[in-house]
């Protein structure tokens, strides 16, 4: 296989993942033409890749108008991944324990490329729901977890990673870079970070890192609570969360 062929196939693989990521973000079936426009790729390339992904059941046809969406083969691949991914199984137990001790909503959160996402969630034992869409990407600076998940990076690596527009908060204000970097460094020292959510006006977010054997945060455990309850139970929630994150880290690093 020539070097040009290898590079061509690598570019095709990148485009295939662009297609899958775009469909996940949009959350509905699309025509290949719309996908091509969305990812800025030549239509001929997208049509060819869509045909290949359909053949392998990575995509599935939807309706009679040429729409396609994520296929069931991805579900089976995901199940195979989970069967051999101790973190997900162990984190699920950790979240259940956090909910049982605090009655608040608990989450496991990760970086997804240049964004943040909720990977697992257990709803709290309350009459009203506090929840997030699992797998939905969010700007890293909007999150408590983001301060911990970036703590191992240099300032320049953080600047290079985050899109400039992601520093614009939901209220339209821009988060100063210097403040964000300072919060990251302090969170790294504390092994904990919490703040009033910038995405709504009634919740407070707690986050603690789950670190690998090298001391790098591979994910976070989080509690999302109403602000009044978070204030009244702050020390208890902080203790439960840090203990749970440290316990999970010990189990997965054994």
Tell me what percent of the residues of the chain surpass a pLDDT of 70.
Answer: 91
C-alpha 156/C-alpha 142 separation (Å) is: 19
Backbone angles phi, psi at 7, to 5 degrees: -65, -40
**For the chain, what is the mean pLDDT?**
88
The three-state (H, E, C) secondary structure of 36-50, written as one string: HHHHCCCHHHHHHHH
pLDDT tens by residue, 191-249 = 999 999 888 788 999 999 999 888 999 999 999 999 999 999 999 999 999 999 999 99
* Banded pLDDT at 27 (limits 50, 70, 90): confident
- More reliable by pLDDT, 84 or 200: 200
pLDDT of residue 253: 82
Extract the tokens encoding 56.
């392998």
Q: Which residues pair with 60 in a beta bridge?
A: 69
pLDDT of residue 24: 87
pLDDT of residue 14: 85
pLDDT of residue 229: 93
Asked if residue 123 has pLDDT above 80, the reply is yes
pLDDT of residue 64: 83
Three-state SS for 153?
coil
* Banded pLDDT at 74 (limits 50, 70, 90): confident
* Banded pLDDT at 132 (limits 50, 70, 90): low
Mean pLDDT, residues 46-63 taken together: 91
C-alpha 220/C-alpha 11 separation (Å) is: 32
* Banded pLDDT at 127 (limits 50, 70, 90): low
Three-state SS for 221?
strand
C-alpha 159/C-alpha 176 separation (Å) is: 12
Backbone angles phi, psi at 121, to 5 degrees: -155, 140
Weakest-pLDDT range from 51-55, 67-71, 74-78: 74-78
pLDDT of residue 83: 60
75: which residues sit within 8 A by CB, 6+ positions away?
Answer: none
pLDDT tens by residue, 148-184 = 999 999 999 999 999 999 999 998 999 999 999 999 9
Query: Alpha helix (H) ranges present in the chain?
Result: 3-26, 32-39, 43-55, 72-83, 86-102, 144-149, 155-161, 177-190, 227-232, 234-253
pLDDT of residue 104: 94
* Banded pLDDT at 79 (limits 50, 70, 90): confident
C-alpha 182/C-alpha 186 separation (Å) is: 6
pLDDT of residue 191: 95
C-alpha 95/C-alpha 107 separation (Å) is: 7
Under DSSP, the state recorded for 170 is: T
C-alpha 111/C-alpha 228 separation (Å) is: 29
Mean pLDDT, residues 107-117 taken together: 91
Angle at 43 between CA 42 and CA 48, to 5 degrees: 105
Under DSSP, the state recorded for 30 is: B
Under DSSP, the state recorded for 106 is: E
Closest CA to 95 of 86, 78, 107: 107
């Amino acid at each position: 296989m020539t070097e040009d062929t290898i590079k061509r196939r690598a570019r095709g693989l990148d485009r295939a993942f662009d297609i899958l990521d775009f469909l996940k973000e949009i959350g509905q079936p699309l025509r290949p033409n719309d996908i091509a426009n969305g990812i800025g790729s030549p239509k001929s390339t997208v049509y060819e890749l869509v045909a290949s992904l359909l053949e392998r059941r990575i995509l599935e046809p939807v309706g009679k108008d040429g729409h396609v969406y994520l296929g069931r083969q991805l579900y089976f691949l995901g199940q195979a991944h989970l069967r051999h991914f101790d973190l997900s199984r162990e984190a699920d137990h950790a979240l259940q324990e956090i909910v049982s001790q605090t009655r608040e909503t608990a989450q496991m959160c990760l970086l997804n490329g240049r964004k943040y996402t909720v990977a697992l969630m257990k709803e709290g034992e309350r009459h009203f729901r506090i929840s997030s869409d699992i797998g939905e990407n969010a700007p890293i600076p909007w999150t408590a977890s983001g301060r911990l998940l970036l703590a191992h990076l240099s300032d320049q690596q953080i600047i290079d990673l985050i899109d400039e527009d992601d520093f614009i908060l939901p209220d339209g204000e821009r988060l100063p870079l210097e403040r964000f970097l300072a919060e990251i460094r302090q969170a790294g020292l504390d092994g904990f970070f919490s703040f009033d959510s910038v995405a709504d006006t009634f919740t407070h977010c707690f986050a603690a890192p789950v670190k690998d054997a090298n001391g790098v945060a591979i994910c976070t455990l989080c509690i999302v609570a109403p602000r009044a309850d978070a204030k009244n139970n702050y020390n208890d929630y902080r203790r439960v969360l840090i203990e749970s994150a440290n316990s999970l880290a010990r189990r997965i690093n054994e």
